Amino acid sequence: MSLKISSDSNFEIWTGEHWQSYLRVPGDDKNSGSFSLYLTDYSTFGSGVLVLINIPEISSLTGVYTDNTKLSSFILNKIVSKTVDYPFPEEMKIYDSDILRFEDSNGEISWRIMHSQNEIIAKWSNFKDPFFHSGGPQNQKGQSVLSSLLVFAKNSSIQVNKRFIKGIPYDRATWTRTTGSAQSSCVIAFSEIIKIVDQN
């Protein structure tokens, strides 16, 4: 959900889910695959899903995939552009796509993106106990997370046309300020509430 608190307010609120799968080959300092998905149940632009994908070895797939192009502009301009330390190019093509979530009996949860002749699947499994994030300070771009329920995954993968992208989850030190220690680069933020302050 996204909403303006009042006509004269200088900030907006977004709520939804944020799924991340960042993979690296052990020893490397750059991601071999980055998958970041925003699920919005309701907004002034409708509901929908937006996925940012960056796979250096298949650069032609780098882009923004969505089932609601009107919503994608809001997510990109109000949330993604104000996020610090994001492993995606500033300019990416936007692709109208079919996006589906599914899970199996073993507790593995997946998202599938279909565009043209390409199928991209990201999976998460082997979850740690949930961590409730009660909010943090506003970053220099005017964004702050007010609350979220974080579920870190020990296992995650990204497939392109049934071929696994190399790399595994790794510990990200950036989570230290939120949880007190480094955490997995693959995480699901449920019931996330983000405040976006207009700095213009």
Of 15-19, 133-137, 148-152, the poorest mean pLDDT is in 133-137
Tens of pLDDT, residue by residue over 81-120, are 767 678 899 889 999 999 999 998 888 999 999 999 999 9
94 is written with which tokens?
A: 């936007």
Residue 158 CA to residue 82 CA, distance in Å, equals: 25
Mean pLDDT rounded to a whole number for the chain: 89
pLDDT at 5: 41
What single DSSP character describes residue 173?
A: G
Torsion angle defined by CA atoms of residues 170, 189, 78 and 40, in that order, rounded to the nearest 10 degrees = 130
pLDDT at 200: 66
SS (H, E, C) 89-147: CCCCCEEECEEEEEECCCCCEEEEEEECCEEEEEEEEEECCCEEECCCCCCCCCEEEEE
pLDDT bin (cut points 50, 70, 90) of residue 49 is: very high
Q: What is the pTM (predicted TM-score) of this model?
A: 0.90
